[in-house]
Amino acid sequence: MPAFSPNDPAFLENPFPFYEMGRAFSPLQIGPPGLWSVFGYDDCSAILKDNATWSSFGRRPEQDVEVAPSMLSSDPPVHTRLRGLVSQAFTPRMVEQLEPRIRVLASELLDEAAAAGATVDLIDALAYPLPVIMIAEILGVPAEDRARFRYWSDEIVSQLGSGIDGQGGRQLDPGMLTEVGEYFGRMVEERRANPRADLITGLAAAEHEGSKLSFPELMQMLVLLLVAGNETTTNLIGNAVQEFIAYPEQLTLLRERPELLPSAIEEVMRHSSPVQATVRVATRDAEVAGKTIPAGDSAVVWLAAANRDPAVFADPAGFDITRNPNRHIGFGMGIHFCLGAPLARLEARIALETFLARSASFARTDQELLPRVPTFIMRGVRRLPLRVEWREPAAVWSTSRGMT
């Protein structure tokens, strides 16, 4: 096996050969002691489904005693309570109601981009602002503060998974954490005084009523929603456009048959998974593919490797927007299955639909490697400069549903 340096730029550019080699030896103990990597689809799914054996509460009890876990890093019954408090806000029915607003926003963002000329950084112009403005509106925090959110979530995301290669890891800037706490603390106080129809008001009430949510839990929830609802969807949109450039015949097919867009998005989720991996800790000795992983050891569950397992996907390295069925696990599986999946799918569909309608053609401005999100947990680029041949907005109004 090659050296395991998963945060190395070359690895981030192309981790797929590592997954292919790893699959043959999975589960594989690699990196610091007590850390295993799991690559096969069935083994990854089995771990995610068995949350009694495989805990999401990764921290050792002596660490972070002051900090409450978020739903992502907790097990039942804490997880059940935390998820129950917000799950209503993210059901497919609730999310569908956001469609007209997402459509207006996507059009406005692309109008601005088109007005600025033929070259555009699509991350800056569309893929980043669209999800962050939407989650800010759902939570009820001012979307104007999004430069701050970007800084916070870039910092938090850069630190994800650091330390797993035995290099010690990066610590979050304590000043930033204080700033985040103060910011949301002020918002919560403000909503208690002036309730509105937004998620912060609902969560502030749950905290106020006592037993439902502690203040540190509330802070963790807000940070989780802001970060999870942010970079991941940005990367889905950015990865989709990169796939369309890399596979022009698939783009041609999509332009001919726009009804394939939802299936194309699922194929991006599989082939260029925005979340590449997640981590679990064994609560007891656990058997994976005939090997015993001792209690207390951790497993990196490589979702992106599972998503290219040839036992499940024909021609797994190929990008095929008509793939059906497509049982990728890019949104996870089991009790932690992505809460924001309906929102992410809707935002990606509208963003891409609008971009395809507004552009006659698009291409990279150069062939340089793009700066990547600096963690193996995620796959995405921080900039995506394109040369775009824009189309008049009138074409958009006539082709998109619901905007007559």
Q: Which of 35, 44, 72, 281 touches ligand HEM (CB under 6 A)?
A: 72
3-state secondary structure of 147: helix
| CB-nearer residue toward ligand HEM: 137 or 190 | 137
The distance of closest approach from Cβ of residue 274 to ligand HEM in the complex, given in angstroms and rounded to an integer, is: 4
Which of the residues 242 through 261 are near ligand HEM (CB under 6 A)?
Answer: none
Size of the residue set binding ligand HEM (CB under 6 A): 25
Which of the residues 222 through 241 are near ligand HEM (CB under 6 A)?
Answer: 224-225, 228-229, 232-233, 236
Q: Where are the alpha helices (DSSP H) in 194-315?
A: 199-208, 215-228, 231-246, 248-256, 261-271, 303-306
Instruction: Give the per-residue contact string, 143-182, with ligand HEM (x = CB under 6 A; - = no).
Output: ----------------------------------------
CA angle at 179 for the pair 154 and 62, rounded to the nearest 5°: 85
Place of tokens 């963690």: 375
Instruction: Say how far residue 117 (Cα) sits from the centre of its chain.
Output: 30
The distance of closest approach from Cβ of residue 387 to ligand HEM in the complex, given in angstroms and rounded to an integer, is: 26
The distance of closest approach from Cβ of residue 116 to ligand HEM in the complex, given in angstroms and rounded to an integer, is: 26
The distance of closest approach from Cβ of residue 266 to ligand HEM in the complex, given in angstroms and rounded to an integer, is: 11
Q: Which of 22, 129, 340, 374 touches ligand HEM (CB under 6 A)?
A: 340
Assess 102 for contact with ligand HEM (CB under 6 A): no
d(CA 354, CA 357): 5
CA angle at 403 for the pair 402 and 404, rounded to the nearest 5°: 100
| CB-nearer residue toward ligand HEM: 114 or 232 | 232
What are the distances in angstroms from CA 151 to CA 147, 226, 249, 265, 299? 6, 12, 37, 27, 29
Dihedrals phi, psi of 309, to nearest 5 degrees: -75, 120
| CB-nearer residue toward ligand HEM: 126 or 225 | 225
Assess 274 for contact with ligand HEM (CB under 6 A): yes
Assess 132 for contact with ligand HEM (CB under 6 A): no
Name the β-bridge partners of 301: 38, 278
d(CA 270, CA 277): 12
Summarize as ranges the residues that interact with ligand HEM (CB under 6 A): 56, 71-72, 83, 90, 224-225, 228-229, 232-233, 236, 274-275, 278, 303, 330-332, 336, 338-340, 343-344
